[in-house]
Structure 1
Amino acid sequence: MNALIIDPSSSYRQLLSKLLESYRFTAVAVSTIDEANPAIQHQHFDIICVSLNLADTDSLAFCRDVRQLDSYKHVPIFMLTSSKDADVNQLALGAGVTEVFRKQDFSSFQLCLENLVERLNDEVDNNGQILYIEDSASTAFLVTTTLQDHGYHVDHFLTAEEGIKAFHKNYYDLLLTDVVLTDLSGLAVVRAVRDSNSEDKKTTPIIAISSFNDNARKLELFSAGINDYVTKPVMNEELLARISTLIKSRQLLITLNNKQAQLERLALTDQLTSLYNRHYLMDTVPKRIHQAQRQGYPLCMVVIDIDHFKLINDNHGHSTGDKVLQAVAKVLVSGIRWEDIAARFGGEEFVILLDHCDYQNAINIAEDLRKAIASLNPCDIEITASFGVTTLKENEQDFSSLFSRADEAVYEAKESGRNCVVFKE
């Protein structure tokens, strides 16, 4: 990024140069407008800092001339002055200056510079998937080219029908649609998006574009769910700024939602085995019991206890014991259906809840899991586990009674020599 400094004071030019260079600008510092004009003609500057008081010419006239150049219509121009005259601001802004700063208030200028650098970096790092619906091929070409030049991926469609199909099929960070289309209206497009069954898709930001500027039409579109409205002819810089703001807000929201989901998963899962934890089990099983009783389908619980696990820890260390627990957890997950629940209840004890499963099938599943565990040999250690199986009784609503029977069955399995499955009604 390049910065042009125009100030009669060599010490102030040096001060500004060091500040701008600290933000990775390449600074060109001159004392007069006569020196500044050739610099502007031969290279592009991303920011101009000009003093109000210059020896050779009127700095305000210079600002007005710069604004006439196509490549500088939107470049920030900051004016620095020692004057406390209240009229300076109005005159400077009228001449095209972006903002006026007192030289004595250097911290305010530095804060503004920080915000500018952050915005410029954001523009460089633009990314996002945009769905664009526009029935004018020439208009679409110009807008699409601008967006692609700024790093966006754009899928353009001439009709609303094609655009809506693409929206439901693919992921987009933003929808850009003309209000007046050949087949359906932009309003119909907005409603199709907001009526989506996917919560993620229905919150996609929408910008409506129209040559109409009447308030009634805007109100109808905002009521239907658009996030922003741009009037034709579209100014590229304005459109880019609006798109950038909406996409970054959406991406930030997605990041926050993902972090929230991650925190919720951490709260409900055992960190060692990645199975559900005891808290999740205690919260979910009563709901599953109630549903099974209400709909009249069978439900079974299996409790698993690794045999002689204390000896594994004592003889091989706790890190090896952890690997044994992880290996058993993988067997349990791979041996049940996706709708079933596998949880680490505590220590070396695990619980499986089997929905829509009668006791005989539950016994068969437990037996398969027992054999799989016995054949594991994690860390070259022979391990086995004892299984207790029980089934939900008629009108039973209590988690503790269901668990107690399965736990008692595990105790009986251990009393029977371990490495076996015991069913208890």
Structure 2
Amino acid sequence: MTARILVVDDVLANVKLLEARLSAEYFDVITALSGAEALTICERAQCDIVLLDVMMPDMDGFEVCRRLKSNPKTHHIPVVMVTALDQASDRVRGLEAGADDFLTKPVSDIALVARVRSLVRLKLMTDELRMRAVTSREIGIENPVLESIADTGRGGRVLLIDDRESSWDRIAGMLSAEHTVDVEPDPAEALFRAADGEYDIVVVSLALQSFDGLRLCSQLRSLDRTRNVPVLAVADADEESARLNRGLEIGVNDYVFRPIDRNELLARARTQVRKKRFTERLRDNVQLSIEAAITDALTGLHNRRYMETHVSTLVEQAIARGKPLAVLVLDIDFFKAINDTHGHDGGDDVLREFAMRLRKSIRGIDLACRFGGEEFVVVMPDTDLGVAAKVAERLRRRIASEPFLIHATGKTVEVTISVGLAGLGGPDDNPTKVLKRADEALYRAKRDGRNRVVAAAA
């Protein structure tokens, strides 16, 4: 797994040292000697991760990080602060500026590579979602990045897994200042609780007395329902660096050392909660874009594209199983006159109400679609022509029995429909033929006076 790493430091010797270490691991390295240069490179989307020195003239690393994280174009780029400052207050300041991680000089090669690889995995996971989010914005769906920039990372649901009461009591007390905290002292129950709890972050003590904390972290990563929940490990000060780096490799997102600094713990938890919410917004955004691609925005029914894709599957399944299938093509009578009299907004009111009545008249397994304009199609699996005719007639009466309200004027309009239906023929039948027969039946219904149901000849 490789990536393009931006190394930012005003001391050329430091830049060259990090460049050599990363290049040896086959990362593509680019460099910048100032914060302003780094901001330009990032805004041009020329890097995947930033290794950022803190102490720089003109613009320090904290300010560079703040600007990166407040810009929608660069908000998603992971930032690792590389600093000689090792006080908890310095780490908190960096985390509050938006930093994703820290490396303290002199930088360990093992720690450097482990952190970079961990963040590369996170970056790759979100990049595909971000690309889809761009497409979503083009069709009018809200940009999730703007919400994420404003997110404080507070108010999350935290599961704390720790089997020492003195330890969990202290950690829970710290986290409760900003989050809702549940404590699970039994590692054997922790997986089930994490899977069922819809948590924003799981905090795991690596000093569990009865279980390997890292193994628990790996199990959290292996379950579908907890795979995307951030894991924050709590490690003893003398924890082996190789073990911590192993934790990063198996999916631990971050860790904090004992004795725990309250502000640092809260800052790291906020960072992970923000990341989770950002990823969830991206996923929700993708789901909305998928729904928009297959749903008619006005009526909420499936659109023609969806129907054309799925009607073939339904017909093939019916033929293979030797089951009946019926297709209804429906058209609102004299719809142009409704538009001319009540305007297009009035016509939209009629279409929405018609779609609602249509849904209530068919089964959940039936496929209802807006074919275009005032024409609709219903595909009914496991339904013979006789039953389909009864459903169509019931729908016709339901439409004609109650006037449709025009919301802007408070007036009502009488609406009727014409329906053509066709059943599946022999094993050589196909969707095009069935739809054509139903459409021809609809034409006969309209020709014979409208407000009627006509079945295609067998």
TM range (shorter): 0.5 to 0.7
The residue number in structure 2 matching 1:204 is 229
Matches of 2:386 and 2:439 in 1, distance apart? 18
Residue among 321, 324, 334 paired with 1:308: 334
For residue 202 of structure 1, give the secondary structure of its aligned residue in structure 2.
Answer: coil
Please state how far the C-alpha of 1:172 moved relative to its aligned partner: 0.8
Say whether residues 1:141 and 2:169 are aligned partners.
Answer: yes
Query: Are residues 373 and 158 of structure 1, via their aligned partners in 2, closer, same or farther at CA, if it must alter by over 3 Å?
Result: same
Q: Which ranges of structure 2 fall in alignment gaps of 5 or more residues?
A: 1-52, 70-92, 99-148, 406-411
Say whether residues 1:177 and 2:204 are aligned partners.
Answer: yes
Report the AA paired with residue 204 of structure 2. T
Residue among 92, 97, 100 paired with 1:119: 97
Say whether residues 1:364 and 2:364 are aligned partners.
Answer: no
Report the AA paired with residue 233 of structure 2. A
Say whether residues 1:259 and 2:285 are aligned partners.
Answer: yes
The residue number in structure 2 matching 1:89 is none
The residue number in structure 2 matching 1:245 is 271
Say whether residues 1:156 and 2:156 are aligned partners.
Answer: no
Kindly indicate whether the alpha-carbon contact (under 8 Å) linking 1:286 and 1:397 is maintained by their aligned counterparts in 2: no
Matches of 1:123 and 1:233 in 2, distance apart? 28
Matches of 1:194 and 1:107 in 2, distance apart? 36
Residue among 159, 163, 171 paired with 1:131: 159
Kindly indicate whether the alpha-carbon contact (under 8 Å) linking 2:153 and 2:271 is maintained by their aligned counterparts in 1: no
Q: Deviations over 1:214-261 (max 9, x none)?
A: 356446544543333444443434433332222211111111121222
The residue number in structure 1 matching 2:323 is 297
The residue number in structure 1 matching 2:368 is 342
The residue number in structure 1 matching 2:437 is 405
For residue 393 of structure 1, give the secondary structure of its aligned residue in structure 2.
Answer: coil
Query: Are residues 268 and 191 of structure 1, via their aligned partners in 2, closer, same or farther at CA, if it must alter by over 3 Å?
Result: same
Residue among 347, 355, 362 paired with 1:329: 355
Matches of 1:381 and 1:180 in 2, distance apart? 73
Say whether residues 1:271 and 2:297 are aligned partners.
Answer: yes
Say whether residues 1:186 and 2:218 are aligned partners.
Answer: no
Matches of 2:221 and 2:324 in 1, distance apart? 40
The 10-residue stretch of structure 1 (261-270 or 300-309) with the greater mean CA deviation from structure 2: 261-270
For residue 339 of structure 1, give the secondary structure of its aligned residue in structure 2.
Answer: coil
Matches of 2:221 and 2:310 in 1, distance apart? 32
Please state how far the C-alpha of 1:111 moved relative to its aligned partner: 5.2
For residue 176 of structure 2, give the secondary structure of its aligned residue in structure 1.
Answer: helix
Matches of 2:372 and 2:313 in 1, distance apart? 21
Q: Which has the higher contact order (CA 8 A, sep 6+)?
A: 2
Matches of 1:123 and 1:267 in 2, distance apart? 29
Report the AA paired with residue 158 of structure 2. I
For residue 160 of structure 2, give the secondary structure of its aligned residue in structure 1.
Answer: strand
Matches of 1:256 and 1:173 in 2, distance apart? 15
The residue number in structure 1 matching 2:447 is 415
Matches of 1:308 and 1:142 in 2, distance apart? 73
The 10-residue stretch of structure 1 (371-380 or 230-239) with the greater mean CA deviation from structure 2: 230-239
For residue 280 of structure 1, give the secondary structure of its aligned residue in structure 2.
Answer: helix
The residue number in structure 2 matching 1:88 is none
Matches of 1:165 and 1:109 in 2, distance apart? 40
For residue 281 of structure 2, give the secondary structure of its aligned residue in structure 1.
Answer: helix
The 10-residue stretch of structure 1 (350-359 or 111-120) with the greater mean CA deviation from structure 2: 111-120
Matches of 1:162 and 1:109 in 2, distance apart? 41
Kindly indicate whether the alpha-carbon contact (under 8 Å) linking 1:299 and 1:357 is maintained by their aligned counterparts in 2: yes
The residue number in structure 2 matching 1:287 is 313
Report the AA paired with residue 127 of structure 1. G
Say whether residues 1:390 and 2:433 are aligned partners.
Answer: no
**1:9-28 mapped onto 2 (5 Å cutoff):** none
The residue number in structure 1 matching 2:343 is 317
Structure-1-length-normalised TM-score: 0.67
Kindly indicate whether the alpha-carbon contact (under 8 Å) linking 1:290 and 1:397 is maintained by their aligned counterparts in 2: no
The 10-residue stretch of structure 1 (354-363 or 207-216) with the greater mean CA deviation from structure 2: 207-216
Matches of 1:319 and 1:269 in 2, distance apart? 20
Matches of 1:349 and 1:160 in 2, distance apart? 58
Please state how far the C-alpha of 1:349 moved relative to its aligned partner: 0.3
Query: Are residues 124 and 223 of structure 1, via their aligned partners in 2, closer, same or farther at CA, if it must alter by over 3 Å?
Result: closer
- Whose radius of gyration is greater, 1 or 2? 1
Query: Are residues 280 and 214 of structure 1, via their aligned partners in 2, closer, same or farther at CA, if it must alter by over 3 Å?
Result: same
Matches of 2:195 and 2:242 in 1, distance apart? 29
Matches of 1:396 and 1:289 in 2, distance apart? 11
For residue 351 of structure 2, give the secondary structure of its aligned residue in structure 1.
Answer: helix
Q: Which ranges of structure 1 fall in alignment gaps of 5 or more residues?
A: 1-97
Computed over aligned residues only, the root mean square deviation of the Cα atoms, in angstroms, reads 3.1
For residue 229 of structure 2, give the secondary structure of its aligned residue in structure 1.
Answer: coil
Please state how far the C-alpha of 1:100 moved relative to its aligned partner: 5.2
Identity %: 33
Matches of 2:321 and 2:167 in 1, distance apart? 58
